Amino acid sequence: MCRTEAKSLPLIDPEHANADGGAIAYAVSSKAHARMTPEHSHARGQLLAATTGVLVLEAEQQHLLVPQGYAIWLPPFIPHALRTSHLFNGWSAYLAPSEKLPAKTQVFPVSGLLREAVLRAASWGVSDQLNTAQERVLAVIVDEVASLPSQDFVLAMPTDRRLVKIASTLLENPGDPRPMQEWATWAGIAPRSMSRHFADETGMSFSDWRQRARLMRALELLAAGTAVTSIALELGYDSLSAFIAMFKRHFGVPPSQFSAGDQ
């Protein structure tokens, strides 16, 4: 779950996020310190991007991470909570419902075209009417959100209260080395039942889920400027090379590509 921090005011007036006019984009640029926004939803879909730092969200029984250079699309009326790293810098756009936009939450890389189109929309301010040129920019934003490939920065969360207890604790400290049997005893569930329910509820084995939790935390630490060697040690890897190999196997690139300031 999103860790407890001082609550922050929304980046845009909730009235605009819930407006029910035509296909209108409300966009804002944002530069923020670490912030936490409690669970909420709005009538418009939301596009959130990180240009530096990371966003961490909880939505639809999922733990989602948005590294720098990526964005997340949240369809209308999807309850979500979020927090940002202290180095976060990004932008947010609200779009009216459209059949062209994805029906599910997803994370994807920000193309140069999408970034420039949203920044242009941000200069419009809040208006209920768009001219022809603005309508074309909005169409570009919608097309880019609909077509960019989704990325696997997602952890499905279990629903069984005992497994939620385990998963939430591991999200706080993914380097915890306890084997599955100890986790099962701690949570009051038989190891065999834990293994079966974890796979049924998350689509992953416990070991694979924990591995992904570690890698997603690694992205947060890289964005904060933590040294790769320190991250490998904190997350419980046997060696630096083992961490780099696992990171590259999962994300397709070495950890250095996600270091602070690299994108």
Assess whether pLDDT exceeds 90 at residue 190: yes
186 Cβ neighbours under 8 A, 6+ residues apart = 166, 178
Count of C-beta atoms within a 10 Å radius of residue 242: 11
pLDDT of residue 18: 63
pLDDT band at 114 (very low <50, low <70, confident <90, very high): very high
pLDDT of residue 89: 83
Per-residue pLDDT, averaged over 62-85, amounts to 91
Assess whether pLDDT exceeds 70 at residue 244: yes
pTM of the model: 0.81
Give the distance between the most distant pair of CA atoms in the chain: 63
Range among 27-36, 132-141, 194-203 with highest mean pLDDT value: 194-203
pLDDT of residue 262: 45
Pairing type for strands 62-66 and 45-52 reads: unpaired
239 Cβ neighbours under 8 A, 6+ residues apart = 232
pLDDT of residue 85: 76
Query: Is residue 142 within 8 Å of 101, Cβ to Cβ?
Result: yes
Per-residue pLDDT, averaged over 20-27, amounts to 54
Assess whether pLDDT exceeds 80 at residue 182: yes
38 Cβ neighbours under 8 A, 6+ residues apart = 7, 81
Assess whether pLDDT exceeds 50 at residue 194: yes
Assess whether pLDDT exceeds 90 at residue 232: yes
Per-residue pLDDT, averaged over 122-149, amounts to 85
Tokens of 238: 């046997």
Looking at the chain, the number of H-run helices and the number of E-run strands are 9, 10
Tokens of 239: 């060696």
